[in-house]
Structure 1
Amino acid sequence: MKSPLSARFQNMNPMKLLPIKANFSYEKLPGYDNGNGAKKYRWRSPSPGGDRFTLPKLSFSRVILFAVTVVFFVGLLATSGYRRHQNMIHHQQPPPRELFPWEHFPRLNGYYNGLRTLVSLKDHTPEQLFVRPDSEAPLDTFPSATQKAKFNLPPEPSPSARPFPFSPYPPYTSPEYLKEFFPVQECYLDEGLKTPTPDIYAYPGIPQNMTNPFFGSYEQLGIARDMCYERYGRLGPYGYGYSPEEGGFGLADNSENVGAERVWEMINPKKVDYRNVDWGRAQQDCYEKNKVRFDNEEATSSESHRQSGSKKTRSRTAYVLRTWTGYQYTEWQIMTLRAMISELSLKSGGEYDVHLLVHVKDDSIPIWASDVIYQRTLEENVPKEFWGIATLWSEQQMRTYYPEPFTDNLENDSGLPVHSVYRGAHFALQWFSQQHPEYDFFWNWEMDLRYTGHYYEFHERLGQWAKRQPRKGAWERSSKFYIPDVHGSWDNYTKMVEEEIALGDDEPVWGPPEYKAREKVPSPPGTKPPTSYEEDNYEWGVGEEADLITFNPFFDPEKTNWVFRHDITGYDLSLPPPPRRVAIITVSRLSKRLLNLMHEETFRYRHTMFPEMWPPTVAYHHGLKSLYAPHPVFFDRNWDLDYMNQIFNYPKKDVDSPFGWGEHNLLGSSFYYNSGFSGALFRRWLGASENGEGGRYEEENGSGRMCLSGVLFHPIKFERGD
């Protein structure tokens, strides 16, 4: 049996990895054909009755004619064959490309172990312990983790493997919480307050021999690893597995479903009818009911405050998804949006608001001039249930908001105008933040991201982790991939980076850097270090909210051949380019303070850079607290760890950086801008067949449906399998 993706990887074209200009594709993955061209070609089976083929009866003249015709065609074939042979002699076919080194590592298959193999975390053995990276077995014959473990599979999950509702929220009703904060009023899906927000369901334990992440750590971020999610418990509450007539999407008719009834027995409310849900109204009602939790004036004047003394207010966060007119909202995408709103906003009592920031691609539509045109455009391009959370914008609108001239561009590699969404996606987010000063933080999210875990747990734990981090060494720690099996504990990793700083030639980042510029926006208070770098004992910044949280490390683009490193606008070209930092993929959490600085730099001095360079660079220039969050990232092969550390954290040449020509090393990861493994693994989790593997038959006759801990996938370009 072929291992997943093997056929696709074998045909990768390394030339597509090279940066090109006008037609550079930021989504196309070498060797992956979005499901259209990744077929396995086989000889056709003989047609029924083929063994009974007989020659028809022919007359003598017809036999002579047939013989002449055969001789003629044989002559043609011989002549053309001779010519092809001569051409091959003079024009040799190029040899097949050499495999990248990482393609020689053996496949990992523990991801596909299902519910029948669940064990407690303490009894879990990751498959990396017995799949040796130096074994280099043939990719098509390497045994799976399930085969190696030789499980004695029962016909269904064991009785102890029962799903449970997972709630990562603070104990809102406990005396300890209420002593510090205002009570949380429950929010509902409907105006009649009859339909509560649903829970999601997880299974205790994880599949035996489930693959460990290579980058990042559940434990470091405080995300639960001792449980996992399968598709019914994760998506059933949002419409998966029940019919459109009941208000769901179906989608499970051809899916393995052993034990799914246990989820349906527990789900409350049963099978929500989402056909009449208005998410905008639900979010607004939730906030109004809980307004005292966030508004200092409301809190001061409240009866609860007068009776019990001062209570803390909570910050609010906008969760902004960037979409566009013409975007196709699949059933899977709609369930993802429902999960985000329910888990982030409604169940938290309004701590988050989910927004769709919709790019109107046709600049001739005057959405700013007519409420009627605005509403019609919205209704034609967004599903009805999300009308109330959508905000439209256009590039023409941004040209008015940030008017020309934008001069002194160092290099425009894409050839596109500065206001294009490709080069100026941050303009819309800056504008949106100015329209919504009520939010303290803004998650900049993309439509092709998926998360198998609980959205509130993931985002809250990231924020809490970032708040605990000191500023000393933060930029340097955030410039590397954290590999726990190489670096050990986070404390050990911190000490290692500190030693590298001491032995290196570069000065550590400590407050805003000095650089020459024609004009500068003043940095805000609190960004100058209170002591020298040496005197600080990892104290400055602890307890301070992070202004920027990213999902990939920061890097200095001048030390790489990243294609957009010189897309810098508005800075004096007679001076050296300003120092910069980049984090690939624009997904991040930005503070109001950071977005205000980005806005001011843009409208005051017409400063801007490529979208993945602009927020980290502004944060760097102004001494803001910025961190790469070490979230778990998985790979489809068992890399040698010393080699992995060298490739990703210590490339021998600048051009080998994983954020330049060396980015092919991330094709087999679960998170990068062009990863192929991410989509393949996610579709398998949904129960689909991927390149002829997985799907209902294999799940029913194997270890059951997949069960994953929280994994952030990117990109997911489609969700239907073969």
Structure 2
Amino acid sequence: MNPLKLLPTRTNSKYERLPGADSNGSPFNSVSLKKYRWRSPSPGAERFPGFVKLSLSRLLILATTSILCLSLIIIGGYRGHRRIHTEKPPAQSSYPWERFEKFTGYFNGVGTLVPKSQWTPEQHYMSQNITVKPPVNTKPSSHPPLDPFAFNPYSEYLSDEYKSEHFEVKECYLDEAETVRLPNVFAYNGLPQNISEPSFGSYGVLGLRDDVCWERFGRFGPYGYGYEREEGGLGLAEKSEKVGSGKVWKQQAKIDYRNVNWGEAQQRCYEKNKKRFQNETAPTDKHARAEWRPKKPVARQAYILRSYTGYKYDDHQLLTMRAMITELSLKTGGEYDVHLLVQVRDDSIPIWTDREIYQKTLEESVPEEFWGITTLWSEQLMKLYYPTPFPDNFDNPSGQPIHGVYRGAHFPLFWFAQQHPEYDYYWNWEMDLRFTGHYYEFNKKISNWAKQQPRKGLWERSSRYYMPELHGSWSDFAKMVEEETFMDPDGPVWGPVTFPNAGMLPMLNETKPPRTYLEDEYEWGVGEEADLITFNPIFDPSKTNWVFRDDVDGYSRAFPIPPRRIAIITVSRLSKRLLDIAHKETYKMRHTMFPEMWPPSIALHHGLKAAYVPHPVYFDRLWPLDYMDQIFNHPKKPTDSVFGWGEHNQLGSSFYYNSGFAGSLWRRWFGYKENKEGGSWLELTTTGRMCLRSTLLHPIKWERGPTE
């Protein structure tokens, strides 16, 4: 028992408790809003000691001592938490956004598909107060009006330009005998009529296809959805509406996944294409060398899924992981390796001294098909790798130890990068993320977009949500942000940020600006790969009441707290350069911060290139645009920030740590009922199964629901 639980604290100090989160007026009352970030209780917390027989006198002594200790703990806990309590937001029964009209077009099925040229988003009618929308086909259809097609984002590999610069991509297979070819996935070349536009972000700006949608059979059927285990699939579609899904199987043979070893498949693919990732050796002949043009090596990337022992891998999760490995690693000729980085929560298991125990722990914790991509780690290892002390903590509202997975979740990522220096970039991915589109198209397009971003104004643009319907083109948005920056007394970020301190690593010459901010014509940084790519804005926590804004260690308290930046949830792409600097700052300088704050702050301090990608984010209802911009981009005071007490505004979005709409949308897309809505009967009797554009969803805390 923890006596501190008797005190009125925030939700275990994970984040600010949402004001009014228990209100009957909230549409997400039944959804758990606690954030999961591969964090766990103390090792062994699930074990309980046996009963111990005690004498009466010993029981009295024990009871007296317990009461005394309890009193001391409560008093101490109260004093330690008193400041946090004074910051608690006022109770509120409802929020303005709960009164906004809900969208329904998301649930129009494949029976309503139209080419994009004929599509009208639901906002068009609602924002103009048009109460009668043009009718859509609401009758059951024997087949969708459009046919699915094999989606191929790898056409560049066949282009003459690519072949002139890089070695060719050699085809990889699922089996060693090279008889089982990699599957294709299928999209529809159209959109459900009246499906909503995203509120934040843009397909066009990132170069993503915005004229196609994905339904569950075309997206995950090739990975085992919809056919039985006896055939090597996972089932999951016994009671599903499946009209027209047979057109997928006519184009894609069902694959038996029962004997696939993904680790071996990845390794074979890399070995087959190894030449693509190495610097080419010049020919020895003088005449040949004169005409020789070296091929450019292709960057390698690690895609790291963060898990823990005891994690339950639902069959839906297996579909997602198979898609990641196929689309990112095998179909790219080994450009990516997908890794499963698993925390062993019980530190008493000697995985570092006994290979047999290591293997036994791995096999008990991970599905067999992923054994070959898994690496185990523990908090004890992190204590050895990054030893204390980390002095002069400014504030630790969670009260958690620095090496615990809660405050030290970034340590194993740094460690992994040091153990695997062969990669140029590392994607830090959470197990509760889902994506409805094609992984390679998404990763490639956002990486290219970030590479082409000029550094001038990039920190400022990355601190805001881009709303195309309000802000106009990306160029218009950039001009608006520049004007706001000139009005800001703090001015722009330009190169490494210096501040008073008791010791720092030396700055890199290549990150120092080549000219002044005013002299730069949006040239510096164009063509430079981003060191950090995030999926939520990179904001200044000192201007919010985000609860962990001052959780900073190792910097002398004789000086002011260092400047910081943070992007909520640790999902990101990080360069080897950034991770090497962060590793050295951690073990050499004993500097660290809260996990979501440390990599962005490293980028800020050392002048690295960091960008928030404006990927499409949807909301469950119609927000007035000016009001949405004021709430999300221009809060009137720190306590209004959507990164703090204002987090309730994110509940209806498709991407945030506490989103309720993300999970609801995902389960409805799979054909399950949610809040007594949807399900197979509704799909069968109306417009069929849902079809969504490429959308990144978070968090997905569970995936199954009732079908009827």
- In the superposition, the TM-score normalised over structure 1's length comes to 0.85
Aligned-partner Cα distance in 2 for 1:449–1:503: 38
Q: Tell me the residue number matched to 2:625.
A: 641
Distance 2:577 2:32 in 1: 45
Distance in 1 (alpha carbons) for counterparts of 2:284 and 2:123 = 58
Counterpart mapping for 1:687-698 below 5 A:
687-698=671-682
**Cα distance in 2 for residues equivalent to 1:657 and 1:422:** 23
The answer for the alignment partner of 1:4 in structure 2 is none
Distance 1:492 1:664 in 2: 29
Change (3 A) 1:601 1:113: same
Q: Does 1:287 align with 2:275?
A: no
Which letter maps to 1:613?
M
What percent of counterpart residues are identical? 59
Q: CA deviation at 1:132?
A: 3.5
What code does the residue aligned with 1:647 have?
A: I
Q: Whole-Å Cα distance in 2 between the matches of residues 525 and 409 of structure 1?
A: 30
Question: Counterpart of 1:101?
Answer: 96
Contact 2:459 2:610 in 1 (8 A): yes
Task: Describe the shift of the 1:36–1:616 C-alpha distance in structure 2 as closer, same or farther (beyond 3 A).
Answer: closer
8 Å CA contact retained: 1:26, 1:674: no
For 2:338, what is the secondary structure of its paired residue? strand
SS at match of 1:470: coil
Partner of 1:212: 197
Aligned-partner Cα distance in 2 for 1:155–1:21: 46
- Quote the Cα distance in structure 2 between the aligned partners of 1:491 and 1:459: 23
Asked whether the equivalents of residues 456 and 524 of structure 2 are also in contact (C-alpha less than 8 Å), the reply is yes
| C-alpha distance 246-435 of structure 1, shift in aligned 2 (>3 A) | same
Inter-CA distance 262–502: structure 2 relative to 1 (3 Å threshold): same
Q: CA distance change for structure 1 residues 123 and 613 in 2, over 3 Å: closer, same or farther? A: same
Shift of 1:120: 1.3
User: In structure 1, what is the equivalent of residue 562 of structure 2?
Assistant: 578
List per-residue Cα deviations over 1:180-207 (Å, max 9, x = no partner). 2101110000011000110100001111
- Contact 1:569–1:606 under 8 Å retained in 2: yes
Within-5 A mapping of 1:143-162: 148-153=133-138, 155-156=140-141, 160-162=145-147
Asked if the contact 1:115/1:157 (under 8 Å) is kept, the reply is no
Given that residues 136 and 193 in structure 2 are in contact (C-alpha distance below 8 angstroms), is that contact kept between their aligned partners in structure 1?
no
Among candidates 279, 299, 302, match of residue 296 of structure 1: 279
Relative to structure 1, the CA distance from residue 183 to residue 448 in structure 2 (aligned partners, 3 Å threshold; closer, same or farther) is: same
Instruction: Report what 1:178 is aligned to.
Output: 163
- CA displacement, residues 638-685 of structure 1 (integer Å, 9 cap, x when unaligned): 000000000000011111000010010000000000100000011000
Paired AA for residue 697 in structure 2: F
Shift of 1:122: 1.7
Partner residue, 2:72 = none
CA contact (8 A) 1:683 1:720 kept: yes
Distance 1:97 1:21, change over 3 A: closer
Aligned twin of 1:359: 343
2:245 is the alignment partner of 1:260: yes
| Match of residue 249, structure 1, among 228, 234, 247 | 234
Structure 2 distance, partners of 1:299, 1:100, is 66
Q: Match for 2:313 among 324, 329, 352?
A: 329
Deviations 1:668-712 (A, max 9, x none): 000000100000011000011111110111111111110011000
Q: How does 1:47-66 map to 2 (within 5 A)?
A: none
Q: Report whether the alignment pairs 1:372 with 2:347.
A: no
Letter in 2 for 1:116: G
What are the within-5 Å matches in structure 2 for residues 264-283 of structure 1? 264-267=249-252, 270-283=253-266
2:119 aligns to what? 124
Out of 603, 606, 613, the position equivalent to 2:587 is 603
8 Å contact 2:603–2:609 — kept in the other structure? yes
**In the alignment, is the contact (CA less than 8 A) between 2:139 and 2:686 conserved in 1?**
no
Do 2:139 and 2:685's aligned partners in 1 also have CA atoms closer than 8 Å? no
Task: Flag the 1:97–1:491 CA change in 2: closer, same or farther, 3 A.
Answer: closer
* Root-mean-square deviation over aligned CA pairs: 2.2
CA deviation profile, 1:252-298 (whole Å, cap 9, x unmatched): 0111001011111111xx11111100000000000000000001157
- Change over 3 Å in CA distance of 1:648–1:25 after alignment to 2: closer
Asked if structure 2 preserves the Cα contact closer than 8 Å seen for 1:106 and 1:133, the reply is: no
Task: Note if contact 2:120-2:194 (Cα within 8 Å) is conserved in structure 1.
Answer: yes
Secondary structure of 2:629's counterpart equals helix
Alignment of 1:422-501 (within 5 A): 422-501=406-485
1:69-125 C-alpha deviation (Å, 9 max, x unpaired)? xxxxxxxxxxxxxxxxxxxxxxxxxxx953200111100011101111111112211
1:342 aligns with 2:309: no
Q: 1:265 to 1:406 in 2, by over 3 A?
A: same
Distance 1:324 1:301, change over 3 A: farther
Is 1:671 matched up with 2:666?
Answer: no
**1:680 partnered with 2:675:** no
Given that 1:26 and 1:673 are in contact with CA atoms closer than 8 Å, whether structure 2 keeps it comes out as no
Deviation at 1:173, TM superposition (A): 2.9
Aligned-pair CA distance for 1:177:
2.1
Separation in 2, partners of 1:24, 1:479: 23
CA contact (8 A) 2:15 2:547 kept: no
- For 2:214, the equivalent position in structure 1 comes to 229
Structure 1, gaps ≥5 residues long: 1-17, 38-95, 136-142
CA contact (8 A) 1:528 1:623 kept: yes
SS of residue matched to 1:425? coil
For the Cα contact (< 8 Å) 2:534–2:612, is it kept in 1? yes
SS in structure 1 of the partner of residue 563 of structure 2: coil
Report the CA distance between 1:367 and its aligned residue. Answer: 1.3
Indicate conservation of the 8 Å contact 1:221/1:631, yes or no: yes
Q: In structure 1, what is the Cα distance between the partners aligned to 2:161 and 2:615?
A: 30
Which residue is equivalent to 1:78?
Answer: none
Larger Rg: 1
Whole-Å separation in 2 of the counterparts to 1:392 and 1:682 = 30
Partner of 1:93: none
- 1:391 corresponds in structure 2 to 375
Query: Does the C-alpha gap of structure 1 residues 554 and 300 become closer, same or farther in structure 2, counting only changes over 3 Å?
Result: farther
* Conserved? CA contact 2:262–2:369, under 8 Å: yes
**CA distance in 2: counterparts of 1:298 and 1:682, whole angstroms:** 49
Distance 2:143 2:344 in 1: 51
**1:112 matched to which residue of 2?**
107
The residue aligned with 2:10 is 20
Q: Structure 1 residue 553 and structure 2 residue 533: aligned?
A: no
The aligned residue for residue 238 of structure 1 is: 223
Cα deviations by residue, 1:475-519 (Å, 9 ceiling, x for unpaired): 000110001111100001111111111222112100011200100
Q: What SS is found at the alignment partner of 1:670? A: coil
- 1:410 correspondence with 2:394: yes
Q: Give the direction of change, closer, same or farther, for the CA distance of 1:329–1:566 in structure 2 (3 Å limit).
A: same
Amino acid paired to 2:273? N
How much does 1:403 deviate? 0.8
Conservation of the 8 A alpha-carbon contact between 1:22 and 1:413: no
Residues 392-438 of structure 1 show CA distances to partners (whole Å, capped at 9, x for unaligned) of 00000000000111221111111110001110110000000001111
